[in-house]
Structure 1
Amino acid sequence: MSAINVFQQNPGAEAKAQSPLHHADLASLVGKGRKNAGVTLRERKFLGHLTIRGDGHDPEFAAGVHKALGLELPVALTVVANDEMSLQWAGPDEWLLIVPGGQEFAVEQKLRAALEGQHIQVVNVSGGQSLLELRGPNVREVLMKSTSYDVHPNNFPVGKAVGTVFAKSQLVIRRTAEDTWELVIRRSFADYWWLWLQDASAEYGLSIEA
């Protein structure tokens, strides 16, 4: 292992965790939206977010990532996933890895072991980010209200991921299925985007999923 200090950042089970939208009490809104709503929102809280940096052109780096995660390095503007985690291209030498909550430390250790001796960086950024999932037949219309990026299926197929301006701020949009999209957001902007999405979805109906 490298000489870098790596430590468990998650508090013990006695600590009470609150998601970025804890104050919105989304659980109390489940089942209260319009029937057959055009947009369904789910806060995917307490996931682990890790940034990985390295030389994507180096076969040893790609092989090490695959050994640790079982995922191939995604190419520009794409995201790959399996049943447990997703890996998204974030720049020429940077990727965003999202794993189940509580697995961040173990996954980081596996990555560092598999990439031993290489010039890499792995940083746990879970505390500063969160993920919102939007699903339904009218999600694309909501996105069209919110960003100037072209979200037409011809330009934004399943598996694409981009960082862009959204509602006068910035986030990452990921399309994970035909009618399912994810927004990777900064924690400090969670309330702003929650209010924005309520307004942008109003004409189609918004339902909340636990």
Structure 2
Amino acid sequence: MSNVNVFQQQASAGTASESPLHFSLQRSPLPSSSQDAGVIMSERPFLTHLVLRGSPEVLSAGVRKIIGVELPGVPCSLNVDGQKSIQWLAPDEWLAILPPGSEFTVEKDLREELGDASYAIVNVSGGQTVLELSGPNAREVLMKSTSCDLHPRVFPEGRGVSTVFAKTGVIIRRPDSERWELVIRRSFADYLYRWLLNAGAEYGITTRAE
């Protein structure tokens, strides 16, 4: 911990912040809300995104203590507890998505807990955002855009994978039976937002403010 500088990157109170989809929402008017919409899309902006690297033996106890969520040990699995989630990305890599504004405190506390063990923590909060899709036709919209098998038998609740979606890389997650999540890069946010509006038009797509 003594050899690492951890920076508080949160803007001071009162400073205006723009989510990755701020420009898109200004440029592309939102569809009118509809009670019978087949797809409901919303951005979950400003969440904490931390990439954790290291062996499970090193990380598990510290992550459980500081974050309060078990480190997934099964490939492509996702553990969710309220607003907190941790997803398996690779044998020594996980993505933790936590409530907004917690990145500095969580990283500092994790580093203090893990001490001089071999690990890495990278704050990627500013470079990613989460798009949430729900509604009776959400899976159909996703199926139009990726070759990943999204059948419930193959992609049950608690699963998440990195894959190609609409010609770019995303993480598709299924936190529960009602919702799907896309973890996307900031630079592709506008492109994917407009892609999904087009893909969902036949089902009736609307948006919901978070």
**What TM bracket, shorter-length normalisation?**
over 0.9
List, as ranges, runs of 4+ consecutive aligned residues in structure 1 with deviation greater than 2 Å. Answer: none
What is aligned with 1:195?
194
Q: Which moved more, 1:70-79 or 1:131-140?
A: 70-79
Q: Is the 8 A contact 1:52 1:97 kept in 2?
A: yes
**Separation of aligned partners in 2, 1:52 and 1:2:** 19
Unaligned runs of 5+ residues in structure 1 are: none
Query: Is 2:181 the counterpart of 1:177?
Result: no
The amino acid across from 2:78 in the alignment is: V
The amino acid across from 2:168 in the alignment is: S
Q: Is the 8 A contact 2:77 2:87 kept in 1?
A: yes
What is aligned with 1:8?
8
Q: Is the 8 A contact 1:61 1:118 kept in 2?
A: no
Aligned pairs for 1:10-159 within 5 A: 10-25=10-25, 29=30, 32-56=32-56, 58=57, 60-74=58-72, 75-159=74-158
CA drift at 1:177: 1.4
**What is the SS of the residue equivalent to 2:142?**
helix
CA drift at 1:8: 0.4
CA drift at 1:110: 1.6
**Separation of aligned partners in 1, 2:134 and 2:205:** 10
**What is the SS of the residue equivalent to 2:180?**
strand
Q: Is the 8 A contact 1:2 1:112 kept in 2?
A: no
Q: Which moved more, 1:69-78 or 1:6-15?
A: 6-15
The amino acid across from 1:66 in the alignment is: R
Unaligned runs of 5+ residues in structure 2 are: none
CA drift at 1:104: 0.6
Q: How many residues align?
A: 207
What is aligned with 2:185?
186
CA drift at 1:21: 1.0
Identity of aligned residues (%): 52
